[in-house]
Chain A
Amino acid sequence: MQSACPGVAPRWIGQWHAALPAMVLVFAGMACAQNALYIDLSGDWRITSDDRPEFAAPGFDDHAWGTFRLPAGSSPYRLRCWLRRTVELPASADRTQLALTVGVMRDVYEVYVNGVRIGASGNFESFADAQIPRPRTFDIPADAAEVTGPVAIALRSRWALNMPPMWRIQDAGPFVLASRNVAPRQAGTIQLQEQWIANSPGLVFGAVFAVLGMVGLFFWTADRKRIELLWFAAAGFARAISAYYRCSLLLTDSFPFVAAGFPRLEMFVGNFYQPMAATLALTAFGRKSARWYAALWVGYIVPMAIATSRPQIQPLPAYRFHAASFDLAHLWPPAVAMTVVLRNWWSTRRQHLLHLVLSLLLLNFGQDWFRRLIALVGRAEFLITNSQRIGAVWVLRDDVLLLFLSAVTLALLQRRLTADSRERLRLSGEMEAARVVQQLLISKTPARESIDAVYEPAQEVGGDFYQVIPVADGSQLIAAGDVSGKGLKAAMVVSLVTGAIRNRQSDAPGAILGELNRVLCESLDGGFVTAVIARLFGDGHVVLASAGHPPPYLEGCEVSLPEGLPLGIDAAAQYQETSLPMTAPQQMTFVSDGVIEAANAKGELFGFERTRHISTKPAKEIAAAARAWGQNDDITVVTVRRAAS
């Protein structure tokens, strides 16, 4: 159909699709003014669903084909089709300077003029260089239009299966064969600008999700045990990538250098949003069993690997199988997470608000879950839209809901973090107070002998103790011991033992141990206390008794003591005394098992022999050597050096 010359055309203002007829008139007017060629190709085209190369040939007889109206026609042949149109040119037309403008088509297509391929939009074999449907103008090579005769235009087309909903706009013009200088090239540029505006919410949402992810990451650095914050951050980043993927056609069309592989990146990273958010739910409720996490991720990754391993263009049955795998991969994580949330809600009835918000988050999955389930049972198409056109822009309902729920989830996680921090601070204060009290209990001022002691608990408070007590007859009692276990429970037993020692009925080491044993047998519920008690007399001899404690060392030699059961096990246990001389300036060294059983990175113990070897050194050096080897228990060292009289 040749255009009439319409005279002066109105200026275009507003929506591009509304403006296109006006633009056609503008260009037609320009063509008239310059005596240039301008032929509107809107109207009936020939169409077939076959796909053969000879359809491009100029002499091909297409009279048996059906007809299809361009633009905005509705084709029954969506998978693949050919469209043909033959145009007579006026004798005056300059056939070396022609251009063909193909209007908006939802499909991937190739353009042929007289059998010569002059261009394409998208790719028949891959989605990697998919392009936004928009008007495109192709310059026709001089040799394609030939010297005389009609021009045969053929469009080979395939439905763009991966086209997101927001790109699935109505087919529109202009379809024009014109001289190059009047071809409506601006139509495509204008529509690209419109698409940037229409999809700007997706870009904004992507940025906001990324910011939320960074905030989650920041909170996680404050307490790295709160692993759910890390998963929150990961889910935020994945959602951001997913949001940007939805604009991938815009990016790849505007910036060709980002084209290759972007959709595949989204497959692997953007789609991780759901398992990441499901893992967030598992970690937020303290689910520690590795089986849940393994079930979640294996159930996601296996079908996703099947889905993404498919060739991009494939027969429909294979496509449906891979699409079903894709849906299965998305069904699984919400199912696992919802099971955990419901079980946790039922069993603990705690943290109601967090439960509620995470449930809503998962219910949003559930909406997607239900949608996919219908798609899986009904048909393999999963591109069911949840996008909403508001004025000039597209908004995803999921984006709005998820952003709200994510923000509330983050606020609740942060509140929990703050509560944890306050609790830690409170406990730390109480432990510090307990430590001070314990130091007061176990440290007594040395008397006549040269006594040195080091006490280094492995935690804030310890289970070791020592006491140096002057006796009325001028002798000194030295008691060193170790309560099995650590922490506050052990510290409380230390208080009990030190109190019992101070209120002893006898000053004889064996009798003191007997008293302590009876007290502890009544008090301890499991566990035991080892102890050694030495009484240093002014005349130079020492009396010792041991209840399962490491023996002391006298001038580098281990003192052999009779075996004695630890305290608190058998109320009838007896503790024998041993007497030995200790002359000036000999040193007796008492150690706890924290010295002997200090362990290095290989698990090798410091051991009895190394302890004996350094037992003549000052207490600080012995403790430092054990600590350097690898402290894993309370360390106590008491040294007594006999002063010359």
Chain B
Amino acid sequence: MVAPTKTKVEQNDGVAVLRFEGDITSVSEDAVLGKYQKLPENTSKVVLDFSKVPYLNSSGIALVIQLMIAANKSSRTVACFGLSAHFVKVFKMLGLAKYTTIYDNESAARAAGA
């Protein structure tokens, strides 16, 4: 049985950090899209923390892409950090540069575009 993904949300000055914990799979809709949809209107930047995510399968990546598209439509910038080298490559392979920028660490992700 797949353990549910946990998401901790931190908000400060229009920047929301979504800290995911656990694998992101097809059962993670509430943890990914659900949490995103509850962000306040004045959120201008969304930072996704994948440092406690060991694995994303294709359904999980689809959820992340939906989040990025929704943010893109709301003119919000999306920054990612904490991805393993494998998933950095997967994200680039998927052409997600159109929707997000991948950073090495949290401070760089928070600082970018500030």
Contact = CB atoms under 8 A, between A and B. Distances in A.
Given A527-B59, A633-B58, A565 B98 contact: yes
B93 A551 contact: yes
B54 interface: yes
Given A530-B94, A550-B93, A608-B89, A569 B58 contact: no
Interface string A547-581: 01111000000000001111001100100000000
Contacts of B86: 605, 607-608
Given A526-B66, A528-B65, A603-B54, A484 B93 contact: no
Interface string B88-114: 011011111110000000000000000
A285 to B, nearest CB: 20
Nearest to B58: A484
Interface string B61-100: 1110110010000000000000000100110111111100
A565 B94 contact: yes
A485 B93 contact: no
A504 B55 CA distance: 35
Given A566-B65, A569-B65, A608-B86, A548 B59 contact: no
A633 B57 contact: yes
A548 B95 contact: yes
A550 B26 CA distance: 21
Contacts of A528: 58, 62, 65
B26 A485 contact: yes
B68 to A, nearest CB: 9
A528 B61 CA distance: 9
A563 B100 CA distance: 14
A82 to B, nearest CB: 66
A563 B97 contact: yes
Contact of A484 (B61, B89, B90, B97): B61
Contacts of A569: 65, 69
B55 A482 contact: no
Interface in A341-372: none
Interface residues on B, range: 20 to 34
Contacts of A563: 92-95, 97
A462 to B, nearest CB: 12
Contacts of A527: 59, 62
**Most chain A Cβ neighbours within 10 Å, of B55, B63, B90, B95:** B95
A597 interface: yes
A599 interface: yes
A566 to B, nearest CB: 6
B64 to A, nearest CB: 11
Contacts of A565: 94-96, 98
Greatest chain A CB density within 10 A among B57, B90, B94 is at: B94
A597 B63 CA distance: 18
Contacts of A228: none
B34 to A, nearest CB: 14
Contacts of A485: 26, 58-59, 62
B94 A548 contact: yes
B62 A564 contact: no
A201 to B, nearest CB: 45
B67 to A, nearest CB: 11
A605 B92 CA distance: 18
A593 interface: yes
Contacts of B57: 597, 632-633
B58 A482 contact: yes
Contacts of B55: 597, 599, 603, 605
A526 B62 CA distance: 7
Interface centre among A530, A551, A573, A597, by most chain B C-beta atoms within 10 angstroms, is A597
B80 to A, nearest CB: 15
A484 to B, nearest CB: 4
Contacts of B65: 528, 566, 569
Nearest to A604: B54
Nearest to A608: B89
B95 A564 contact: yes
30 contacts: A482-B58, A484-B59, A485-B59, A486-B59, A526-B62, A526-B63, A526-B66, A527-B62, A528-B58, A528-B62, A528-B65, A548-B93, A548-B94, A549-B93, A550-B93, A551-B93, A563-B93, A563-B94, A565-B95, A565-B98, A566-B94, A566-B95, A569-B65, A569-B69, A570-B69, A570-B98, A593-B58, A597-B55, A597-B57, A633-B57
Given A526-B63, A603-B55, 14 more contacts: A484-B59, A484-B61, A526-B62, A528-B65, A548-B94, A551-B93, A563-B92, A563-B95, A565-B94, A565-B98, A566-B65, A607-B86, A608-B86, A632-B57
Interface of A: 463, 482, 484-486, 526-528, 530, 546, 548-551, 563-566, 569-570, 573, 593, 597, 599, 603, 605, 607-608, 632-633
* Nearest 10 interchain pairs by C-beta: A484-B58, A563-B95, A548-B94, A565-B95, A484-B62, A527-B62, A485-B59, A564-B95, A484-B59, A528-B62
